[in-house]
């Protein structure tokens, strides 16, 4: 999971401007296209007595080219992430220095409500991507440090809490800790337990409490976190046993960083923040490997209808027909040939996954109909020309 790194000054200036806007500022840091479409670096290596120049096309370091199939998969992942962010009220913020998918909540709010929503967002995205079972681990190490250094809790009491946390419990574990006299007699411990109980109450209301687990082995390597931190990992199920293990680490992560924005404000204004990052590239690697393992095919276009003909000299009729479909908002295409063979056209539709074919020939033109072919079943029906668009739209809406 790519961790949120320190942004360059200009990027942080833009971010700070957003975070300072009341009452709530949520930002999405957009992924830029330079990792998908690499700039071609052409190096001329013309040598003496050579008439032709040799060009070496290089991909910039840190980037890679993606095939059309890979682009489709990656765009679906990004669409899922962005749609979830927007569903939770996100505002867009473009920071060209980085290629992340982040969601951050900034401002003064009641305890644990924003934290719980961030965890809910991670669950929604990972569930929507259908990556399999997953678990969100919450580290206690940083929380223990906060209780000792910030809230004045005695280290031995914090260690007692740590012993409980290793049990990987939820609300029931917190209730059990409330009953422990070693903890219940300490005011600071009770405050910490109250926050934990409140968090799990919200997670239970969100229906995701079973996806959360405390894990002392988790340690985020960045110093600016000030509270609970979390990372999401995928769990391999028996159905996935035939898959080759792919060690990608966490696929999402985040936490609370109440002091970070103040580091970049000349006046030192502090803005409480909590956020998350989605590991788009790691998720893409997982999906790509599973597609290779199970031989899944990906459509590289969204074409809905193919315009075909079985006869020669029908290019003009095909062009008029496809223009009619385009004007109706239907995604359509044809072969760029004057006289393509019908079998070639039908094979193209089957290979590319186009669901419908409209066929026009001399007989159809004479009768004022268009033949509509369902590619999957190879069923064909004759449709009156004036009803063609409505019939196609109906069938597409039902599919």
Q: How far apart are the first and last CA of the chain?
A: 37
- Feature table: binding site for L-histidine: 220, 224-225
Contacts 24+ apart (CB under 8 A), 217-221: 218/137, 218/138, 218/139, 218/141, 219/139, 219/141, 220/3, 220/139, 220/142, 220/253, 220/255, 221/3
Q: Which residue has the tokens 């961030």?
A: 118
- Feature table: binding site: 220, 224-225
In what order do the strands lie in the sheet containing 25-29? 91-93, 25-29, 101-106, 273-278, 252-256, 229-234, 134-139, 212-214
Neighbour-count burial of 392, counting CB atoms closer than 10 A to its CB (0-12 exposed, 13-18 middle, 19+ buried)? buried
Q: Which two tokens stand for residue 270?
A: 């502090």
CB 209 within 8 A of CB 200: yes
C-alpha dist (Å) from residue 96 to 8, 262, 265, 280, 379: 10, 22, 20, 16, 50
Burial 12-44 (b: 16+ CB within 10 A, else e): bebbbebbeeeeebbbbbbbeeebeebeeeeee
CA distance 159 to 157: 5
CA distance 271 to 257: 9
Instruction: Tell me which residue of 73, 75, 64 sits closest to 36, measured CA to CA.
Output: 64
CB 99 within 8 A of CB 31: yes
Helix (H) or strand (E) holding 15: helix 9-19
| 3 state SS for 210-258 | HHEEECCCCCCCCCCCCCCEEEEEECCCHHHCCCCCCCCCCCEEEEECC
């Amino acid at each position: 999971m790519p961790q949120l790194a320190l942004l360059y000054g200009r990027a942080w200036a833009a971010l700070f401007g957003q975070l300072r806007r009341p009452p709530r500022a949520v930002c999405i840091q957009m992924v830029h296209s330079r990792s998908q479409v690499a700039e071609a670096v052409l190096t001329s290596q013309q040598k003496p007595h050579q008439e032709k120049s040799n060009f070496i096309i290089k991909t910039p370091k840190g980037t890679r080219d993606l095939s059309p199939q890979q682009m489709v998969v990656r765009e679906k992942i990004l669409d899922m992430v962005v749609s979830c962010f927007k569903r939770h009220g996100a505002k867009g913020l473009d920071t060209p220095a980085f290629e992340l998918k982040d969601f951050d909540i900034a401002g003064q709010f009641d305890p644990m409500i924003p934290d719980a929503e961030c965890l809910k967002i991670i669950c929604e995205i990972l569930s929507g991507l259908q990556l399999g079972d997953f678990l969100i681990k919450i580290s206690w190490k940083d929380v223990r440090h906060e209780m000792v250094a910030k809230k004045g809790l005695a280290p031995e009491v914090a260690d007692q809490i740590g012993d409980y946390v290793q049990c990987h419990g939820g609300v029931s574990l917190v209730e059990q800790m409330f009953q422990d006299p070693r903890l219940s007699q300490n005011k600071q411990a009770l405050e910490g337990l109250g926050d934990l109980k409140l968090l799990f109450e919200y997670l239970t209301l969100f229906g995701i409490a079973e996806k959360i687990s405390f894990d002392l082995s988790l340690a985020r390597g960045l110093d600016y976190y000030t509270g609970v931190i979390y990372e999401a990992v995928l769990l391999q199920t028996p159905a996935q046993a035939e898959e080759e293990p792919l060690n990608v680490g966490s696929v999402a992560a985040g936490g609370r960083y109440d002091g970070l924005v103040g580091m970049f404000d000349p006046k030192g204004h502090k803005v409480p923040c909590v956020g998350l990052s989605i590991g788009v590239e790691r998720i893409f690697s997982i999906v790509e490997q599973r597609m290779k393992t199970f031989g899944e095919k990906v459509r590289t276009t969204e074409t809905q209808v193919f315009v075909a003909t079985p006869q020669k000299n029908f290019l003009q009729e095909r062009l008029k027909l496809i223009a009619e479909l385009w004007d109706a908002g239907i995604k359509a295409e044809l072969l760029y040939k004057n006289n393509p063979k019908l079998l070639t056209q039908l094979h193209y539709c089957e290979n590319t996954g186009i669901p419908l074919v409209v066929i026009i020939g001399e007989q159809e033109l004479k009768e004022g109909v268009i033949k509509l072919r369902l590619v999957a079943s190879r069923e064909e029906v004759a449709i009156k020309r004036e009803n063609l668009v409505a019939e196609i739209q109906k069938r597409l809406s039902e599919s």
